[in-house]
């Protein structure tokens, strides 16, 4: 059984199909890169997957269930989306404690994840005073709060400096070693080539390539394959 199964997914805004009959399976225990030019429909697909947007038609299931039907979703799926989802006037720790309480997770786990993302010293700082890199780490801390088997990450490297990207690479590898299923969208193609097992590429809402890294890329680079498949749009 695929960890994530997307079948005939369509999401329409007005007359425009943001996602156009997308079908894809994400294998359990694999890291899958979800690639596409800006506006290709990656974020919309992920939002449909986690129930924030309602599909116009088709399904996006996690372990054969809609996200909203999962029992305590935070313990099964951790999500980082482009909008951070944290209150700027609350401290990092308070923000996580709000989420932890809603999922029935003990407060001690908040301290653990803050340490894992190396934000322990900034835990008492208000989120509005966090740098972009710190906000990304806090978002990742929120995603792993419930120790989920599946991680859905939308552009987690956005705005990170080289040191932040290196940290993220190590962090994702560590998470993947635990056998987690990770679906990650990113524009950092060189990073993705070194990190992911499988690749999904979409353009204008349609799936244009999928398979293992080797199948999609061959002997070349991911960037070359991506540019060839998407007509040079990056």
Residues in touch with other proteins (CB under 8 A): 47, 50-54, 67-68, 70, 73-74, 79, 81, 83-90, 94-95, 97-99, 101-104, 142
Query: Residue 51 or residue 133: which is nearer to other proteins going by CB?
Result: 51
Query: Residue 83 or residue 194: which is nearer to other proteins going by CB?
Result: 83
Least Cβ distance, residue 69 to other proteins (angstroms): 8
Least Cβ distance, residue 223 to other proteins (angstroms): 31
Query: Residue 102 or residue 234: which is nearer to other proteins going by CB?
Result: 102
Least Cβ distance, residue 234 to other proteins (angstroms): 25
Query: Residue 87 or residue 170: which is nearer to other proteins going by CB?
Result: 87
Cα–Cα distances in Å, from 141 out to 99, 198, 211?
Answer: 11, 24, 29
Least Cβ distance, residue 24 to other proteins (angstroms): 21
């Amino acid at each position: 059984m695929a960890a994530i199964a997307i079948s005939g997914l369509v999401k329409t805004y007005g007359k425009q199909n943001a996602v156009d009959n997308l079908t894809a399976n994400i294998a359990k225990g694999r890291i899958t890169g979800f690639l596409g030019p800006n506006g290709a429909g990656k974020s919309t697909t992920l939002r449909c997957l986690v129930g924030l947007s309602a599909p116009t038609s088709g399904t996006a299931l996690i372990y054969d269930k809609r996200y909203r039907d999962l029992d305590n979703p935070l313990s099964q799926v951790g999500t980082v989306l482009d909008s951070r989802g944290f209150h700027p006037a609350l401290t990092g720790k308070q923000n996580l404690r709000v989420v932890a309480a809603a999922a029935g997770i003990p407060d001690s786990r908040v301290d653990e994840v803050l340490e894992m993302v190396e934000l322990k010293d900034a835990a008492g700082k208000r989120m509005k005073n966090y740098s972009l890199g710190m906000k990304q780490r806090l978002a990742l801390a929120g995603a792993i709060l419930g120790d989920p088997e599946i991680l859905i990450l939308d552009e987690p490297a956005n705005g990170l400096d080289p040191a932040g990207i290196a940290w993220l690479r190590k962090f994702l590898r560590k998470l993947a070693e635990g056998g987690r299923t990770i679906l990650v969208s990113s524009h950092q193609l060189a990073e993705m080539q070194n990190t992911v097992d499988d690749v999904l590429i979409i353009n204008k809402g349609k799936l244009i390539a999928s398979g293992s890294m080797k199948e999609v890329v061959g002997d070349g680079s991911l960037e070359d394959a991506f540019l060839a498949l998407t007509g040079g749009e990056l």
